[in-house]
Amino acid sequence: MQVVSIREAAEEDVAAVLDLYRAAGIGGEDNFTVEEGIAHFAALKRASSLRLFVAVIDGSIVGTYELMVMDNMAKAGKRSGVVEDVAVSPDHQGQGVGRAMMVHALEECRKSGCYKLMLSSNLKREEAHRFYEALGFKRHGYSFQVEVSG
């Protein structure tokens, strides 16, 4: 098995991250161009609660995920983490990249004092559900959404 390292993304990683999103079907027609992505990445870097990470094997970016750590008013101010937009290169799926990213996310949440880490997954993605459950995630409640813009 190849060694996977996880690091916080840098501006020069944006094109590779956008390619991963496209390969994973994340964002569809709403994805940024590279130039737009770089501008948005700069805005993300100014927001302390949202961080973008990449998984690297032999110098190539093969996975990505976003982690937001939120300070909560409830539960005596305990923090919680939310993982979004997990993507692994199709050529590297089943090789431990997703597992390495989720272990990394859990460790980042522990270091940040989070009491839980959450994510949501499309109902159709049953293989992903088995993957998350194998990592110790439990199904909890329901996930709801409403489109707020057209």
pTM of the complete model: 0.90
Residue 8 and residue 51 in contact, taking contact as beta carbons nearer than 8 Å: yes
Q: Which residues, other chains included, contact 28 with Cβ-Cβ below 8 Å and sequence gap of 6+?
A: none
Residue 34, number of CB atoms within 10 A of its CB: 13
- pLDDT tens column, 72-94: 888 888 899 999 999 999 999 99
Residue 74, token pair as written in the block: 């409830």
- pLDDT tens column, 101-148: 999 999 999 999 999 999 988 888 888 899 999 999 998 888 888 988
Q: What is the 3-state secondary structure (H, E, C) of 5-70?
A: EEEECCHHHHHHHHHHHHHHCCCHHHCCCHHHHHHHHHHHHHCCCEEEEEEEECCEEEEEEEEEEE
Q: CATH assignment of 5-134?
A: 3.40.630.30
Domain ranges of the chain: 5-134
Would you place residue 1 in the very low, low, confident or very high pLDDT band (cuts 50, 70, 90)? low
Does the pLDDT of residue 48 top 80, yes or no?
A: no
Of the candidates 81, 89, 85, which has an alpha carbon nearest to the alpha carbon of residue 105?
A: 81
For range 45-50, the mean pLDDT? 81
